[in-house]
Amino acid sequence: MKGIILAGGKGTRLFPLTKSINKHLLPVGKEPMIYNPIKQLVSADIKDILIITSRENMGNMVNLLGSGREFGCDFTFKVQEEPRGIADALLLGEKFASGDLITVILGDNITTKSIKPYVSKFKKQKNGAKVLLKEVLDPYHFGIATLDKKKIINIQEKPTIPQSNYAVTGIYMYDSEVFDIIKDIPLSPKGELEITTVNNVYIDKGKLTYDFLDGDWIDAGTIKSYKQANEMLYKINNRINNGDYDENTI
């Protein structure tokens, strides 16, 4: 299993904090934001990690993270030349993945409890994809999963009429087929390759599973949620909790 952290984008929802710095380098709690997804992957025994960021931020990212020795892992870095969506950034990881299973985390997703149990379940699944869901109060701002008993039947991106309150968090697990799927999906009206479209292809193939994410989670991409992320990690001293997990959650 390999890990990919997507840390590009312009961070416009966090202006003016991001006028001169990549949002993933902003402090959350007592550490830079990107430390949290790195520590999550390492907690799941994923030590080979690709970090994808923008050209203008690559120097600062490498200077901060180095080789990965500090975290007990190995970093590879790659540049996304233009911000053309999450799936477009993920496509840059095809050679790095080299046919292995991958866990992908968006760099502004802050979590408090280890994802190791879900990664272990996906390794047993061996193929297809897995997403992690979290119930939210504002489903209009997320990709929202429509559930039918123990299946996701559809994911809507920022729906005007949400079918549930279950947001798809920015933590995804894929087999090597994901790259062929990305190459075949159309651009969205915004001119981007959407990760929701990729996940819906897996649904259509009957190959997408899900779990409910335990612990606290927040997308720290806005001023309000960034403040909440800081408060969340200050409380736990930026640690990842490796607490108990119920295999029968779903």
| pLDDT computed for residue 192 by the predictor | 94
Concatenated DSSP letters of 160-228 = SS-S-SEEEEEEEEE-THHHHHHHHSPPPTTS---HHHHHHHHHHTT-EEEEEPPS-EEE--SHHHHHH
Residues 6+ apart with CB under 8 A from 79: 52, 53, 54, 55, 58
Extract the tokens encoding 58.
């690559």
DSSP assignment, residue 70?
A: G
pLDDT top residue among 116 and 149: 116
| pLDDT computed for residue 149 by the predictor | 78
pLDDT tens, position by position, 160-174? 999 999 999 999 999
Residues 6+ apart with CB under 8 A from 77: 50, 51, 52, 53, 58, 61, 62
Closest of 129, 107, 138 to residue 31, by C-alpha: 107
Helix axes 177-184, 195-204, angle to 10 degrees: 110
| pLDDT computed for residue 10 by the predictor | 76
**Per-residue pLDDT for 238 more than 90?**
yes
**Per-residue pLDDT for 17 more than 60?**
yes
pLDDT top residue among 82 and 154: 154
Question: pLDDT category, 242, cuts 50, 70, 90?
Answer: confident
**Per-residue pLDDT for 9 more than 90?**
no
Mean of all residue pLDDT scores within the chain: 94
| pLDDT computed for residue 243 by the predictor | 55
> Average pLDDT in the 101-115 region?
97
**Per-residue pLDDT for 187 more than 60?**
yes
> Average pLDDT in the 121-130 region?
97
> Average pLDDT in the 172-190 region?
97
**Per-residue pLDDT for 250 more than 70?**
no
> Average pLDDT in the 142-154 region?
93
Domains of the chain plus CATH, in order, are 2-235 (3.90.550.10)
